[in-house]
């Protein structure tokens, strides 16, 4: 599959209607459906989990249902590039759908918690492969002036999932049939897999890539590292938690080091070097991913414990961040020129203001004020995220376009995993580990959101550096074009 010529430096993005013209409509639908599977599953499962525990038990593993899914999603994302390279775009994307389908069926029929955990592990792996290949296919199937538009469309899918996911899960929880929440998704996954097979162009796998070269040891090493970090939430002793966190970070660092010299890399070259544009962007992805994570984990708990709201009301108020993110992504997709650079810098600054506002108002302010700061946080992420993804694709090193795009989800998921572990350490240090009360929850949210305000502030600096990298990249491309032009 040929990479589209990069038109991301054009002064204005293409019309929205171009997403449906020239045969791109089937790509738009198929890629949006892939994101919908992952996004909707996230909201549905969190809603039905209390019903699951009441039926098959396993309360001690409540957090593991999410943690294993997230860990497997990171591994699936890391595998997305190699799978696409080995089997081609069509087969790789459809295979991811089949993996997700098998995990969903296993989860739906799980008689015990261990079987459910196995199903969620498989589901997460399939979801990670879908999302990673989704981002890579956006870079290959859409020209540069439409990529921000397409990324904005996938953001609206998350908004729809935030609206309808809790509702769907709530219906099945209300009737006491939690398995229906999984069976509900089966025909949709089948439709996605078939449509992916029909819609995605059939590309030949790379001739020099064989299954034996799949980066199984690097993926396994990465998985152990992420799992060690995620497990800190289930460890009571502070010293042990810190040791597990450090061990996990060390394994992730080792994976990146080993990956540098591999033929079939999981990450692009120099993935965290600030001297290059991709490394700068990856640091920004890593940090900006923590903003929605901190709000998503603890804010619903605060709404219920401190302000006495119902679980459904708390869930929907927590989902305001995703809705604001999506609306902002649609708005920022219409920007060009200097307005894009302003959004890249102003977006994370706005998120920092939102997080600081949540920290300062969580205990004493009315719910609507806290919700307003949540909207500010999500708006800031939405303003910068689409352009950050589009720029990363455009600034990838020659020959690394696909692996750079497909690994964006891996980096964002790593940010979520590391951020969740750090947030857990902060929350427990603030007193949440001693029991859920109004005082402990208020202190936990104050310190978690307050500390993580530093993350988007750091992204402001990274965005400025990325703008400098992009300016240099554009100047170099212009000089090369002039040098290649025939003389007068």
Q: Kindly state the percentage of the chain with pLDDT values over 70.
A: 91
Supply the pLDDT for residue 7. Answer: 47
What is the distance of C-alpha 300 from the center of its chain? 20
pTM for the whole thing? Answer: 0.79
Supply the pLDDT for residue 211. Answer: 47
Q: Is 236 exposed, middle or buried (0-12, 13-18, 19+ CB in 10 A)?
A: exposed
pLDDT digits 0-9 by tens, 405-441: 878 888 888 888 888 778 878 888 888 777 778 998 8
pLDDT digits 0-9 by tens, 84-124: 877 888 888 899 999 999 999 999 999 999 999 999 999 99
- What is d(CA 183, CA 383) in angstroms, rounded to the nearest whole number? 36
**Residue 141 reports pLDDT greater than 90:** no
* Alpha helix (H) residue ranges in 233-366: 238-260, 277-288, 290-305, 311-318, 320-332, 338-361
245 Cβ partners below 8 Å, 6+ apart? 228, 229, 232, 421, 422, 425
Q: Is 258 exposed, middle or buried (0-12, 13-18, 19+ CB in 10 A)?
A: middle
């Amino acid at each position: 599959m040929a990479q589209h010529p990069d038109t991301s430096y054009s002064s204005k993005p293409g019309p929205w209607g171009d997403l449906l013209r020239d045969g791109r409509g089937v790509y738009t639908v198929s890629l949006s459906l892939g994101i919908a599977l992952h996004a909707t599953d996230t909201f549905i499962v969190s809603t039905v989990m209390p019903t699951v525990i009441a039926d098959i038990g396993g309360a001690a593993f409540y957090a593991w249902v999410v943690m294993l899914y997230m860990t497997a999603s990171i591994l699936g994302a890391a595998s997305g590039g190699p799978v696409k390279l080995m089997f081609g775009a069509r087969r790789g994307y459809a295979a991811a759908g089949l993996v997700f389908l098998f995990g969903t069926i296993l989860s739906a029929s799980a008689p015990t918690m261990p079987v459910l955990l196995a199903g969620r592990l498989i589901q997460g792996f399939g979801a990670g492969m879908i999302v990673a290949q989704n981002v890579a296919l956006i870079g290959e199937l859409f020209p540069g002036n439409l990529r921000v538009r397409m990324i904005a469309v996938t953001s609206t899918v998350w908004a729809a999932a935030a609206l309808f996911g809790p509702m769907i899960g709530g219906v099945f929880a209300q009737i006491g049939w939690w398995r229906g929440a999984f069976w509900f998704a089966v025909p949709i996954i089948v439709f996605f897999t078939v449509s992916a097979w029909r819609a995605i162009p059939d590309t030949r796998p790379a001739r020099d890539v064989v299954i034996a070269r799949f980066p199984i040891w690097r993926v396994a090493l990465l998985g152990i590292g992420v799992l060690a970090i995620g497990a800190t939430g289930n460890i009571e002793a502070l010293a042990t938690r810190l040791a597990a966190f450090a061990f996990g970070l060390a394994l992730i660092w080792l994976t990146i080091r080993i990956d540098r010299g591999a033929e079939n890399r999981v990450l692009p070259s120099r993935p965290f070097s600030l001297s290059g544009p991709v490394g700068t962007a990856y640091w920004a992805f890593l940090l900006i991913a923590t903003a929605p994570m901190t709000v998503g984990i603890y804010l619903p708990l605060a709404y219920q414990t401190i302000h006495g709201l119902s679980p459904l009301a708390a869930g929907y108020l927590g989902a305001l961040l995703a809705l604001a993110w999506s609306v902002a992504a649609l708005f920022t997709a219409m920007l060009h020129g200097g307005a894009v650079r302003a959004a890249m810098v102003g977006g994370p600054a706005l998120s920092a203001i939102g997080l600081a506002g949540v920290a300062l108002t969580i205990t004493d302010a009315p719910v609507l004020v806290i919700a307003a700061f949540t909207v500010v946080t999500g708006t800031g992420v939405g303003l910068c995220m689409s352009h950050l993804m589009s720029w990363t694709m455009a600034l990838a090193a020659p020959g690394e376009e696909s692996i750079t795009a497909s690994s964006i989800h891996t980096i964002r998921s790593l940010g979520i995993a590391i951020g969740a572990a750090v947030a857990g350490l902060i929350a427990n240090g603030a007193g949440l580990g001693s029991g859920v009360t109004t005082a402990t929850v208020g202190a936990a949210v104050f310190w978690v959101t307050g500390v993580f305000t530093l993350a988007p502030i750091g992204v402001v600096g990274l965005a400025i550096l990325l703008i400098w990298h992009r300016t240099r990249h554009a100047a170099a491309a212009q000089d090369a074009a002039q040098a290649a032009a025939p003389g007068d």
